[in-house]
Structures are given as C-alpha cells and as structure tokens.
Structure 1
Amino acid sequence: MSHYKAPDHKKEQFRRYLEKAGVVDSLTSVLVALYEQPEKPTNALEFVKQHLGTPGLTAADTEALQQEVEDLRLRCARLEEENLELKSRIQCDEPSEETPATE
C-alpha cells in the first residue's frame, strides 16, 4: 500500500510558514524548558499546554477568566430576558394605530 507524500517544496513552504509565525521558536523553548526540569512532570502534555499558553498566565488566572466568562454569559441571558419583557410591556402600553388618540 502506497502512502501519499507531500512534495518537498510543500513541506519546505510549511516549515518556513511555521518559522515565520514563531511556532518553531515557541515549541523549541517549551521543549527546552521541559528538558531542563530537574524533576520531570508526570503529565508532559499538560506542561506543554501550560507553557505554550499566554506568558505569565497561571492556572488560577485562567480559572478566574473562565468564571468571569460564565458570569457574563448568565448576566447577558438575564438582560436579554429583561429586554424582551420590557419590549412586551411597551407594546402593551402603546395605543394601537387604529384607536384615535383622545385630546
């Protein structure tokens, strides 16, 4: 069974793209940091994920941001409900166009 191989120029083009985007440098620095750990983490993938994320952002920061997002989603849902309710009340309070206004 034959496996499809991308032409060498496509591989080279992709490699240049990764280098230009800074992906190669980021991956290299994370892997070097993992290599230099005196005590290797039990979950290397989690180490890579944490160190590839936003620099200086801790797990606690991430958790706090996720909680804030959830709180804002709930607030948005409540405000949408309130908005619909207020629109409904306004429509009920407005005189219809068929009924002449009394002066």
Structure 2
Amino acid sequence: MGHTPRIVSDVMTQTVVSVGREARFKEIVETMEQWKVSALPVLEGEGRVIGVVSEADLLPKEEFREFDPDRLEQLRRLDDTRKAGALTAGELMSTPALTVNADATL
C-alpha cells in the first residue's frame, strides 16, 4: 500500500490575511475577528514576513488594563509588560517568523 506524505499546502489556509508593521492594536483585533483567525503574519516591503501577531500577543494589554503590576512583577514579566504598552503590530509581534514552503512535507 503506497503512502504519499502530506504536504503543507494540504492543510494550510489558502487565503492569507496580513497586517503591516504599523497596523494599530484595534485594526489587528478587528482583522482577526472579521477573518476568524487567531494570528496574522506581519509583512514588510514586498510581502516579506517579519513576524506574527497572535491572540497570545494581545492578551497582556487586556490583562494589564485592569491590573497594575508592582515593580517586581514588571521585571519578572518584561516581555508581557512591553507588549501591554505596545500600540502597533511591530511592537506586538513575535519575531523572527519561521516559515516553510507550501510543498514541504508535514
């Protein structure tokens, strides 16, 4: 019985929605809601992926909205503290973005 390995294009989303580095927090949230996705690639120049903004990247802003961490907590959670103050995709994104070709095997 022959087995053909599945490739990335078999399981990937065909229509990709993205944002630019300067996209604002509200635009990112609205785009995720509109397209029902949990993450967006951040593009620069001629479509080069420079990072990814996911729901997890947005959570610190919501968490710290109602919680004022003391200095020790801020130091312990530097990355979350930084993201809580972020305004744009460039400040929120996880980077570097790891990418693969559509014909790569799973």
TM-score w.r.t. the length of structure 1 is 0.24
Q: Higher helix share goes to which structure?
A: 1
Larger radius of gyration: 1
Q: Higher strand share goes to which structure?
A: 2
